[in-house]
Amino acid sequence: MNRRYELHCHLDGSVRPSTIADLARRQGITLEAPVEQLVTAPAGCGSLGRFITYIEVPLQVLQTPDALSRAARELVEDWSADGVVYGEARFAPQQHGRQGMTIDEAVEAVAEGLAAGEAATGVRTGLLLCCLRHQTPEQSLAVAETALRHRDKVAGLDLAGDELLYAATPHRAAFDLAHAAGLPCTVHAGEAAGPESMWEAIDVLGARRIGHGVRCTGDSALLERLRRDRIALDMCPISNVLTGAVPGMSEHPAIPLLEDGLAVTISTDTRTTAATTLEREFAGWTAEQEKRAQANAAEAAFRRD
């Protein structure tokens, strides 16, 4: 097994189902169906919008610092079991204030959990904060400001959400602030929308990495830009099929793009929602192909120490 790197992993979509059930029980939250049915997207999910609905129950139980810390620590343990030596967890701290937790407290709780997992397993970790496309520019700016207040704990800034419905440009101020402070940036693009969303991510928000990016294949100028500038593509094959970004695993562009010299990396996106691991994501890859993808990920990692 290669030394694995995971660069694209959403904390709220990667909470163990058993932990979700336990937290719900402790918090007095009644689950209306078996937990796996509520938090794992079915094979015929078909759209990003529907896929995201399976993260709502995890979000319900991740509204306290203790719950966030536990989820983060357990994610690092799961990375260790999956052969991961470096993992980046991303989350939107502004989504965790339903019971009064502040955005800073949420960041501190996740950072604490990652640090505990790192100490126990030796897996190195990075923390990314997510702005959300459907929220206001002011909310995104607040996330960026929070990232900078916790610069010793936060490795990067992300923009997540449905790019088909919401443009990236309104969030430029947040990313300009991050760039001015030297904080690396990534943007979800080319998942629900086409190459134009990736151009916007690169030229407007200055993304150094693209989350997913599977819809780049028809734009030769974009492919050349990605290759020339070594802009990494953090692809998540099983998730990409579940969300309908690609029709099936045999049509996924990761291996062809890797063979064409692009900086393809492979992640799970959401270990629970997509019911996956890196071991599963790399099924069918040759050892040499996985080795190259891991080298790309090591080069593109945001944490440097």
Q: Which residues are catalytic?
A: 191
CA distances for 171 relative to 10, 137, 186, 241, angstroms: 20, 5, 13, 28
Cα→Cα distances 45→12, 63, 142, 153, 164, Å: 18, 26, 33, 35, 17
Q: What pLDDT sits at residue 152?
A: 96
- What pLDDT does 65 receive? 98
Is 199 within 8 Å of 222 (Cβ atoms)? yes
Residue 246, φ and ψ in degrees, nearest 5: -130, 150
**Geometric angle at alpha carbon 154, from 146 and 92, rounded to 5°:** 60
Ranges in the chain, pLDDT < 70: 1
User: How does the average pLDDT of the chain come out, rounded?
Assistant: 97
Amino acid at 76: V
At the second CATH level, the architecture of 4-298 is Alpha-Beta Barrel (3.20)
Residue 117 φ/ψ, nearest 5 degrees: -65, -40
Q: pTM of the predicted model, to two decimals? A: 0.97
pLDDT of residue 1: 57
